[in-house]
Amino acid sequence: MTNREDMTLTSSGFYVSQEAPIKADNPVPTPSVPAPDILRCAYMELVVTDLLRSRDFYVDVLGLTVTEEDENAVYLRSLEEFIHHNLVLRQGPVAAVAAFSYRVRTPEDLDKAVAFYTELGCRVERRKDGFTKGIGESVRVTDPLGFPYEFFYDVEHVERLAWRYDLYTPGALVRLDHFNQVTPDVPRATKFMQDLGFRVTEDIQDQEGTVYAAWMRRKPTVHDTAMTGGNGPRMHHVAFSTHEKHNILAICDKLGALRMSDAIERGPGRHGVSNAFYLYLRDPDGHRVEIYTQDYYTGDPDNPVVTWDVHDNQRRDWWGNPVVPSWYTEASLVLDLDGNPQPVVERTEASEMAVTIGADGFSYTRADDESGSYRGEASKGFKIGHQL
């Protein structure tokens, strides 16, 4: 952390500051026109290679509600949602993400989105009738980081099923919470997202100022999306919320009972970053889905930015459990506006996995305390030995 002197070390072991302590060496130019006013992450369009198998996973196992479906696509929503969908499963030849879709505040914000991305030289496509069922006029772009982003305001309203407790399962998913994107240059991506109106809530970096990941929000939660350092552009995960921790445990129990424990990639656990309780699953195509609950409110303008030391063994799991290597290395392809997979560019900076796991990495439980430090999570061999 280059500006550690500008940060305050908290009694919890992380640092806080007022401004995100992230500087981009190679920034995307800041457009001269205002950014669209984004409300929240609204839905993801996922291309899946076996629609029925994916439908089984998201509907029969995870319990999302089918708003509408046809032979090519299934439109799903969470129990508290009142817009047409939070997830589109669309049959296609290559498993990938077709759109990270955000709702904007007014129809006029679509004009702003067009002007914003056009000035950056991005490909921009606007459709009066939208790109998916249930969504009205929409703008899709390939952003300067290579991600397919969508913006819309007009949408078909559907019944909010929050009061329909007869439909709840023990693992009921109630909201879409966030996206997570993999990108080689996290400071560049963060600066671009700040220009788009996002505010950073947390980040992970080292003493030299290398940034490994950053979380950013429009709605007043920890994030609407996060930028994870790695080969990209790729999609790391899409996250749905439950109300409580026990709902996540119930999902684990159900997967065990269905002999589907191999769908569990990591967790359940408590994050350091975001303070949320979590579980990571892999769908039949390997798309990663997080089940998430109980992060914190971030809506005040002077909400402190939390910075974690990459060597803090509790940053990604508050209980100190190791992160499995697949979680660091595997992610989903993203598509351009023609439906072709975007080329993946390698990250050149240090990888979080390399600096924290194995012989070359180190982590600590207590900073500046010999008994709290050890060389590599490999020293907890019984925990990670079967994963490497």
Q: Which of residues 80-99 bind Fe ion (CB under 5 A)?
A: none
Binding part of the chain for Fe ion, among 71-79, 190-198, 239-247, 365-373 by CB under 5 A, reads 239-247
Q: Which stretch binds Fe ion (CB under 5 A): 118-126, 255-263, 285-293, 313-321?
A: 285-293
**In whole angstroms, what is the distance from residue 161 CA to residue 168 CA?**
9
Six-digit token pair at 321?
Answer: 């459990």
> Is residue 41 near Fe ion by the rule CB under 5 A?
no
Residue 352 as a binder of Fe ion (CB under 5 A): the answer is no
Cβ–Cβ under 8 Å, residues 74 and 66: yes
Q: Which residue lies nearer to Fe ion by CB, 82 or 296?
A: 296
Q: How many residues does the chain have?
A: 388
Considering the rule CB under 5 A, would residue 109 count as an interface residue with Fe ion?
no
In the complex with Fe ion, the residue whose CB is nearer, 84 or 236, is 236
CB of 269 to Fe ion, least distance (A): 12
Beta bridge partners of 182: 228, 234
**Considering the complex, what minimum distance in angstroms separates the CB of residue 277 from Fe ion?**
11
290 binds Fe ion (CB under 5 A): yes
Residue 113 or 213 having the CB closest to Fe ion:
213
Radius of gyration of the CA atoms of the chain, in A: 20
283 binds Fe ion (CB under 5 A): no
237 vs 347, which CB is nearer to Fe ion?
237
DSSP codes of every residue in 160-213: --TT-TTT--TT---EEEEEEEEES-HHHHHHHHHHTT-EEEEEEE-TT--EEE
Tell me how far, at minimum, the Cβ of 266 lies from Fe ion, in Å. 11
- Strand-pairing partners, residue 333, are 96, 234
* 239 binds Fe ion, rule: CB under 5 A: yes
Contacting Fe ion within 159-198 (CB under 5 A) = 180
> Site size for Fe ion, by CB under 5 A?
3
Residue 87: beta bridge partners? 44, 76
Those residues whose C-beta lies under 8 Å from the C-beta of residue 157, and which sit 6 or more positions away, are 82, 83, 84
Shortest separation between residue 14's beta carbon and Fe ion, angstroms = 17
Residue 279, interface with Fe ion (CB under 5 A)?
A: no
312 scored as a contact of Fe ion (CB under 5 A):
no
Nearest approach in angstroms of CB 313 to Fe ion is 19
Cα separation, 319 vs 333, in Å, equals 31
Sign of the Cα pseudo-torsion (275, 281, 287, 293, in order): negative
For residue 323, how far is the Cα from the chain centroid? 16
List contacts with Fe ion (CB under 5 A): 180, 239, 290
